[in-house]
Structures are given as structure tokens and as C-alpha cells.
Structure 1
Amino acid sequence: MQPAAAAVRPLSMADVAARAGVSHQTVSRVVNGHPSVAPATRERVEQAIAELGYRPNVAARALVTGSTRTIGLVTVKINQYGPAQTMLGLEKAARAAGYSLSVSILDDATAGAMRDAVDAFVAQRVDAIVALSTYDDAAEALASLEPPVPLVAVQVGGDEDRPAVGVDQEAGARLAVRHLLDLGHRTVHHVAGPADSKEARGRIDGWRAELEAVGAPVPEPLRGDWTPSSGYAAGRQLADRIRAGEDVTAVFLANDQMALGLLAAFHEAGLEAPDDVSVVGFDDLPEAPYFTPPLTTVRQDFAELGRRGVQLVLARLRGEDLHPRPVPAQLIVRASSGPAKPAPAA
């Protein structure tokens, strides 16, 4: 009979310490993301971990430290570009900080769904929870929750008492409107997002504030739902008004997907941007430079949003009172916006 094979001993922190030439405590600090490790030492330990293929025992570590090194993320409508990119930004930043991200995607932005997701994460013993609360019902539920772990809001409207991080939606909208006014347009029409969206309200507030700041007329906004089809419907309405003689020369839409639909409707009606109407969107989709024409838009830095969100989580875990400033938006000028045509002679 062949002798029984000796059981293979699992790798331990002691093995990593021996390979890296450091103490067991130093390896523990690196694995747990402790800041008080010299960069060269951290690199040596991480190299030893990679060479040995060491994987920390998360369950055992959680029993000892009370930490699972996991952040829970609750998000809604991941099929939309903004929430999807915010999630990716958070995941990348969490991974860089030595945490994993556990995601709960809600079908509906309801208070009950938000509460259930937070309760489930607490039961899983996550270290902290991040919630994307851009819709009113979910945001109201979030404001009423007091879980036993830090709860941080991301991409909110800026009126939350809870620690939060987000892009400055109002300032971004003002950039878009100011750009069009500087091109000589008498006013700027707006296709807004859903009424229950905090982001949509921030953008409509910025649009209105910039028009009022220069005494420009404030047209009644049209309402969309973020989809290209709603932008197409708004485009058909505006095209009809242009054919009827209304002075519509510039349109700011609350996201790029609606701008895509509006441009299609204008093209069908024989109107082209920017010769007939200048068009500006919001988000800077990867496809925006390839629209016909390439779309002028407002870019949100989702990677920076994720970094600041995780930074806020880590500060809360350390017991620090951190209130990050909003992430600034950036105007990206392309071919869909141009100077206003001179008004026809009376």
C-alpha cells in the first residue's frame, strides 16, 4: 500500500513574514490596510503574498478583528449609465483600499426595498454600507435608518444630514447653460429627468438659476425619464414648436441618452445641430463623441466620486468626522453646440 500523502498545511501569515523578512505583525497590518506601514515594506509584503499565493482567511479574521473587510452597496437602476459607473468607481476604490464590495441592486427605488437591503447587509456583518439614494422614496428611507455600522450616501442632492458625497449637479447644469448663453442664445430650453430624481432636480435648479442670473426668459421645461425615447418625444414637441415659429435655438437635456433621442427627432424634422438648434447633454457617455454630431455635454467624474465615497467610509470607520466637498463637473465642448443665428429682421 502507498503511504498516505501528508496533508498540505495551509499558508499562514508567518510564511509571508518569513518570505518578506518582516514580522507577523507587519504582515497583519498590510493585509488589514493599516496606514502605518512604509511603502517599501508594504510592497515587499505584497510581493511575498503574490509569490506564495497567500489568501487571508476572511472568516477567521472576522472572528478576531470583528471586520469582514467588506462594504455593502445598495443601488437602483443599474441599467442607467450614472449608477453603473458610480458602482464601478466605488468597487475600484474599495479594492485599492483592501476591501471587497458586496452589491444589492434594487428593482424599485422604494423605502421598503432600501430598508430590506440595509438589514440584509447588517446580517452579513459588513463593515459599512454605501447607498445610492438618488430617488426620493429611497432617500427618505435612508434618512430614517440608523444601522449599527456606518451608512454613507453617494450621489444625493446635497440636502442630506447623513455624511454624503456627490457630483455638484447644479453647478454642472449652470456650466451647460452659461456655455449656450455665451454663444449668443437668447434662452435655453430644458428637457428634465424624472420628477422624483434628486439629480434631475439639481440639474433643473442649475438651469433655472443660470437663466435668472442674466435675466433670460425661463421656458417651461419638458419632462423626460432618462431614456432616448423620452428625448425623442421631447424633440418632436420642440420641432413642432420651431415649425410654428417659436424661437427655440438651444436645448439642454438632463442626460446624454435623452439628447440622443432628441437629435434623432430633430434630424427627422429636417433640423440639424448646431446649425438650427444647439444641443447639450449631461454625463458624457462613452458614445457621446460619436453622436451625429458629437455631443457637447457635462462630464461627471465617477472614478473620483467612488474614491471620495470610499474615503468617507474609511473615515467613518476610524471615527472621523469627514464632510467631503462635492465632486466638480466639467463641460466638454463638441460639435453639437454653436453660435446662435442672428434674429430675422422685423
Structure 2
Amino acid sequence: MSEERGAKSANIFDVARLAGVSHQTVSRVLNDLPNVRPATRARVEQAMAQLRYSPSPAARALVTRRTRTIGLVTPGSAEYGPTSIAINFTVAARSERYSVDTVAAPDPTPAAIRDTIEGLLRQRVDAIVLIVADVAVLDVVRGLDLSVPVVAAAATQRRHPQLVSIDQYRGARSAVRHLAELGHTRILHIAGPPRNPDALERIRGWRDELAARGLVAAAPVHGDWSAASGADIGGSLPLEPGDAVFVANDHMAIGLLSALRGRGLDVPADIAVVGFDDVPEAAYLAPPLTTVRQDFQALGELMMQKVLVAVEEPDGLTEDTPIATHLVVRESTRPAR
């Protein structure tokens, strides 16, 4: 009797474990998608039969009206990070034979995001994916009760099954650790917008790494992610030779480098600079920029994998570990004088 109850309650993860495959592979078999070896497909089907597995009633209801279209809500800007996430998610969705209906939301407030989501639901999308640019939207995501799955890309201390992210916090700590190990004791921070989740996690990482080393954290100065804001801040940032600046993205770092040249300060001889993102131009600046690389391809693929699981097993979502970053050391940093 207990075996029968267990079989009836089997989920996609149980099938994956028994078949010795990932839950994404099980989802591909359920959706009759390509790129699954015949032997693997047979093993998954055998596991489903053995466990008497079938998708939940909610998932079956989704299948009957599926349009194979995902609604993607992006910030209303052309910033490198959100744009890269959107591109890589779209590529991942197409590889799973889904199309993506992308809507830019210039107003990132909760009310505007709700309106945007309602518009996508009227188009009968199978899932909603959001790239979050305002912390207030995180509460909206957690509180949404829709007829389709919702997945969001947002960095936050509070993990949630619907959220995926790149580890902004540890990325920031790695940048500050690099500067401190070079002998810099005064490390300033040019931060992103004060309500942006990624910017807040980078501030938290910067502060915590300084605190762990007994170094003082001055108040961060906020920019708007643009090179122009980095240049404006760099023109008046109180700096002395031997200081270092951790900049929350590469474009603001590019503006800072320009401003420092205008002030007669040499990078890295006088001031060390570290950015974040590793934009394509970073390796070709003068000097080439030390920065923190984000794996946007991995994030886009993870977002799509979570959508697939949510469609097949609405109650099967689990919390994911943030994707690791990688510090890329170039010529904008050197040991402090």
C-alpha cells in the first residue's frame, strides 16, 4: 500500500533520479523535444512507467492550451547586463522550441509590471519571465498567483524557488579582495541605481569584504550604469594616489577612466580600478580593465530550465544556487605604491 501511495505522488525529480538523468531531460522527453538519445528516452519512459508518473493536473491543463510562447519582461533600457540576459534566454528558449514575446517596461514600478504581465497573459503565453531592475518588483514576483509559471532573474539575499541569479555578492567581494590583496586600504565604490537588486548586492559584498579586513567603507556614490555618470562622478570623487575604486559596472568604469585622465591621475600607477560585467570593450581600453565576468549564457539557460520544470511540475520548483562569477585581472590594477 505504501508503495502505491509513493508511486502516485512521484514527481519529475523522482523520475530523473530513477532514470539517472537531469530533470531537464525528463522534461524534454515529456515534451517530445529533440536532442534526447533513444536509449535515454527509453530509460526515462521506463522510469515513468515504473513510478506510474504523469504530470500533475495543473500541468496537464497547461499542456492542453499550450502556445509554446513565453512572455519576457525586460527593463526599458539598453544596458549590457539585462540585454545579455534577454538574448541568452531567448536563445535557450528557441533551443527548446519556444518562441519569446519580449516587452520592455520603462517604468519598473510594481503597478506597471503588473499591467505588463496582464497584457502578456491576454496573449496566452505559457509562462512569464522577468528581468528585475527594481527591488519593489521582487515582492510582486513572490506574491503573484497566476495560471502560468513565473520566473524572475534578480539578485537578492532571500532566495526563492521562482528566482535565478548570478552571484553579485561574491563577485563584488572578489573584486574588493583583489584590491585589498594588492595593498590598497582605501577602496571607494561607484554603485548602480539605489533600487536595483544587482547594485544592492554589489554594495553588500563591497562592504562585507572591507569589514572582514578591518577597512573603512565610505558612503558609495550612485550612478545610473552609464559611462556619462561614471565620468561625472569621477570628476569630483575625492581621490589620492594609492586609492582604489570598485565600480559597479564596466560602462561607469569607462567613464571613470576618462575622468581620471582629465585630472592627471594615472591608472593603475596612481589609482587602481575594477569594473563589473566584462563587456567586450573591457580588454581593449587603455589600460585594459580588470573586471568581474558574469556568465549570462548560463543564466539564460537556467531560466529556461526552470520554466520547463515549472510547466511540467508547478509545485516542483526548488531554490537554485546563484551562478558563480569570475574575476578577470588586467592592467587597470597593480600593487599599491
Q: Shorter-chain-normalised TM-score: which range?
A: 0.7 to 0.9
1:339 aligns with 2:303: no
1:289 aligns with 2:283: yes
Render the CA deviation track for 1:152-171: whole Å, top value 9, x for unaligned. Answer: 11133242545110001100
Q: 1:16 aligns to what?
A: none
Give the deviation of 1:102 after TM superposition.
1.0
| 8 A Cα contact 1:153 1:162, kept in partner | no
> Partners of 1:325 and 1:149 in 2: how far apart?
23
> Partners of 1:265 and 1:36 in 2: how far apart?
51
In the alignment of these two chains, the number of paired residues is 289
**Alignment gaps of 5+ in structure 2:** 1-27, 42-60
Render the CA deviation track for 1:65-113: whole Å, top value 9, x for unaligned. Answer: 3211111111113410000000011001111112111111112112122
Q: How does 1:321-336 map to 2 (within 5 A)?
A: 321-336=317-332
Change (3 A) 1:129 1:158: farther
Query: 2:175 is paired with a residue of what secondary structure?
Result: helix
Q: Given the two structures, how large is their TM-score scaled by the length of structure 2?
A: 0.80
**Alignment gaps of 5+ in structure 1:** 1-28, 43-61, 342-346
Q: How does 1:1-346 map to 2 (within 5 A)?
A: 32-34=31-33, 38=37, 65-159=64-158, 161-238=160-237, 241-242=238-239, 246=240, 249-319=243-313, 320-341=316-337
Query: 2:280 is paired with a residue of what secondary structure?
Result: coil
Change (3 A) 1:37 1:221: closer
> Partners of 1:93 and 1:145 in 2: how far apart?
24
Give the deviation of 1:223 after TM superposition.
1.6
Change (3 A) 1:177 1:41: closer
| 8 A Cα contact 2:309 2:317, kept in partner | yes
Render the CA deviation track for 1:288-338: whole Å, top value 9, x for unaligned. Answer: 111111100001100000000111111111112332210111101111011
Change (3 A) 1:86 1:232: same
| 8 A Cα contact 1:115 1:145, kept in partner | no
| 8 A Cα contact 2:248 2:276, kept in partner | yes
Write the letter of the residue equivalent to 1:258.
M
> Partners of 1:255 and 1:65 in 2: how far apart?
44
> Partners of 2:221 and 2:308 in 1: how far apart?
41
> Partners of 1:158 and 1:103 in 2: how far apart?
27
Write the letter of the residue equivalent to 2:250.
D
Change (3 A) 1:63 1:90: closer
| 8 A Cα contact 2:92 2:301, kept in partner | yes
Change (3 A) 1:63 1:184: closer
Query: 1:317 is paired with a residue of what secondary structure?
Result: helix
Give the deviation of 1:133 after TM superposition.
1.5
| 8 A Cα contact 2:159 2:319, kept in partner | no
Structure with the greater alpha carbon radius of gyration: 1
Q: Once structures 1 and 2 are overlaid, which stretch shifts more, 321-330 or 81-90?
A: 321-330
Query: 1:232 is paired with a residue of what secondary structure?
Result: helix
Write the letter of the residue equivalent to 1:110.
T
> Partners of 1:289 and 1:38 in 2: how far apart?
40
Query: 2:152 is paired with a residue of what secondary structure?
Result: strand
Between 1 and 2, higher relative CO (CA 8 Å, sep ≥ 6) is seen in 2
